[in-house]
Amino acid sequence: MNRTVLYIVFSLCISAGCLKAEDGSRLWLRAEMTAQAQVKANRESPTITVAVEELKTQWKGAPVQLHIHRNKKLRNLGKDSYIISGDKQAGITIQSGSDIGLLYGAYHLLRLQETQNDNGVLQVEESPAYDLRLLNHWDNLNGTVERGYAGYSIWKWDELPAKISPRYKEYARANASIGINGTVLNNVNASPDILTEDYLQKVKVIADILRPYGIKVYLSVNFSSPKILSGLSGSDPLDTGVQRWWRNKIGEIYRLIPDFGGFLVKANSEGQPGPQDYGRTHADGANMLADALKPYVGIVMWRAFVYNPTPEDRAKQAYQEFIPLDGKFRDNVIVQVKNGPIDFQPREPFSPLFGAMKHTALMPELQITQEYLGFSNHLVFLAPQWKEFFESDTYCNGKGSTVAKTTDGTLFSHPVSAIAGVANIGQDINWCGHHFAQANWYAFGRLAWDHGLTADEIADEWLRMTFTRDEAFVTPVKEMMLDSWGAAVNYMMPLGLHHIFAWDHHYGPEPWCDIPGVRPDWLPRYYHNAGEEGIGFDRTTGGSDAVSQYHAPLKEYFNDIATCPEDLLLWFHHVPWDHPMKNGRTLWDELCYRYDTGVQQVREFQKIWDRMENYIDGDRFRHVQSRLKIHAHDAVWWKDACLLYFQTYSGRPIPYDIERPMHELDDLKKIKLDLRHHN
């Protein structure tokens, strides 16, 4: 072949996809599918076929045996558990009591291959922390995604059921590889239409694709569906006509999808209908649905995210509404509680419901999508935030009663344990908008499986699989990831500040935001309370008394300004500007230094990243580099906006050794972003 021919062959090869572009579409599953491993199983099923195929095409070691076993040990370990034994040279056995356990074992083996240089002798025993590990999609039926920053919904409802996007299977595979075993397809602000026959046919198609990967489908339902869809006079849960309607509807769903998971419900919250519209309680509503789902072993996940426009502290309301109902829910109801008492803020204390509702199964709800953390522009690795949450001590059963233990079945025993994460997935080629946002999807799955993993371990795995195993890349970039959540807290809302976001879209700072006629708890002033004397929300016994919802001795720690953790100081206290902090600075100075530290941290991320150019592909390098520019710009914007605004109250100078503001406050106040395309 002469040179020209070679060149033509080469170009054709590129355009035909011989060299895969690193566009992020393969997520952390980038192993070449060119291996030819010997893999045998002692049983056949669609799930085992997936496991065999994954190993055959990617495993580069000795023959693998997949073995379904019903022995006592595996039975004790539980349904999704697996044991891997053997060694890379002689042969490997994966044993499980279930087909899905074998698939999880296969992904585990492949993960070891992709992340470690040496996997000699293997002895692995794994079982998940939570039984149900779910994604919640806030995806609307018109294709938009509420708080979604990665394009339109991956569920192409207008094309279904006839046309099937290849993404559904890729989605199933990615989730199974990290142990996720359920997905709520639609927004909790639910359209009743999801329960129409047309939509259920579409849902069935998705359920059929996800099934071999061990993923069950669930739906968010609108509590008024009986009234809206069938013209009943109302949707009162104690009305027998309404109950019959739900029984029939649920029967129809299970005829199409025999392993349907159940319902997720947002009721009497932010304008959504619910049982209280009929003078009934959350328990009445949840139990009515639970009774109808029970014969099919379906569950109800009932959200505790509720607050009314009353003078009562918003942080207290979920507890006040749900504690009286403790013990009144059916055993197939799980109350789904956001990690904090307000709303996915950069940093919150854990919700006091954890550990307090001892007779009701509770499932944590984490937010993977970065509604309050810079959308898909800021690089914020969330595992450290979630670890802080899991490890928070509720003291409900003495010292060491961590949030994790109150929900994973260790301290309280309920038929199932569960956890949910609000997905950050969309149609973008890299799924999540920012390449590093994939790490949050990954981390959620890994922690739902094992909340004992460290953020460091998770970042390490993810980097090696997603980019490269080169230590010169992994070490600094991992450090950047591990620092990134703390940095975001610093430049957005340090020391326990919260909810000082711009109106509605929640992207930038707007601590001054004031909209006449709007309910007070939707405005930043309600949360920061800045005045000439100081700043912060007084939730002590002398204030709103939210501290008393925590178990002793935590409530006393939080209540006393001397023992309250400084990271949560302004969450629980209204503090004078001159209050001395532990390091000797005044509160005002410390606030300034924290904001400045946040900015400096992001600048450091830029420097770390720019040094990485030669270790990875150009496309992803440039994409992340460009996002980091926005990130750094925004960090300065946050710092200037908050410090210049709070300075109008503190009347004190910004310490002279920190970077000077670059903006005029009046200019910052004029910024009005039109971010409607984002949701």
Binding site for ligand GCW (CB under 6 A): 138, 146-147, 188-189, 266, 270, 305, 343-344, 371
172 neighbors 164 (Cβ within 8 angstroms): no
Instruction: Tell me, yes or no, if 270 is annotated catalytic.
Output: yes
- Provide the 8-state DSSP code for 183: E
Query: Which pair of structure tokens corresponds to residue 642?
Result: 């908050």
HSE of 59 in the Cβ direction (CA atoms, 13 Å)?
27
Catalytic residue among 139, 343, 428, 510: 343
Strands 64-68 and 39-41: parallel
Q: Do residues 97 and 68 lie in contact, with contact meaning Cβ atoms separated by under 8 Å?
A: yes
Q: Rounded CA gap, 308 and 1, in Å?
A: 76
Q: Is 371 a catalytic residue?
A: yes
395/17 Cα distance (integer angstroms): 56
Least CB distance from residue 365 to ligand GCW, whole Å? 8
Nearer to ligand GCW, 81 or 424 (CB): 424
Which CB, 187 or 647, lies closer to ligand GCW?
A: 187
The verdict on whether 22 is a catalytic residue reads no
Q: How far is CA 43 from CA 37, 69, 216, 615, 653, in A?
A: 18, 10, 22, 43, 73
Closest approach of ligand GCW to the CB of residue 163, in Å: 28
Residue type at 307 in one-letter notation: Y
CB 266, min distance to ligand GCW, A: 5
In 3D, which of 260, 262, 265, 357 has the Cα closest to residue 302?
Answer: 265
CA angle 165, 168, 170 (to 5 degrees): 110
Please name the amino acid found at residue 284. D
The residue to which tokens 């959504």 are assigned? 272
The catalytically annotated residue of 53, 125, 158, 270 is: 270
The residues, any chain, with a CB within 8 Å of residue 114's CB and separated by 6 or more, are 30, 31, 464, 465
Q: Tally Cβ neighbours within 10 Å of residue 415.
A: 12
Consecutive H or E run containing 220: strand 216-220
Contact indicator for 105, 96 with CB cutoff of 8 Å? yes
Residue 134 CB, shortest distance to ligand GCW, in Å, is 15
Cβ neighbours around 80 below 10 Å, total:
23
**Residues paired with residue 609 on neighbouring β-strands, in sequence order:** none
How many other C-beta atoms are found inside a 10 Å radius of the C-beta of residue 602?
Answer: 26
What residues have CB less than 8 Å from 184, skipping those under 6 apart? 134, 135, 136, 137, 218, 219, 220, 264, 301, 420
Interatomic CA distance for residues 38 and 387, integer angstroms: 39
For 437, residues 6+ apart whose C-beta sits below 8 A from its C-beta are 149, 150, 370, 376, 424
3-state secondary structure at position 481: helix
Give residue 531's Cα distance to chain centre.
Answer: 35
Find out whether the peptide bond into 661 is cis, omega within 30 degrees of 0: no
Catalytic residue among 371, 589, 590, 596: 371
So which residues are the catalytic ones?
A: 270, 343, 371
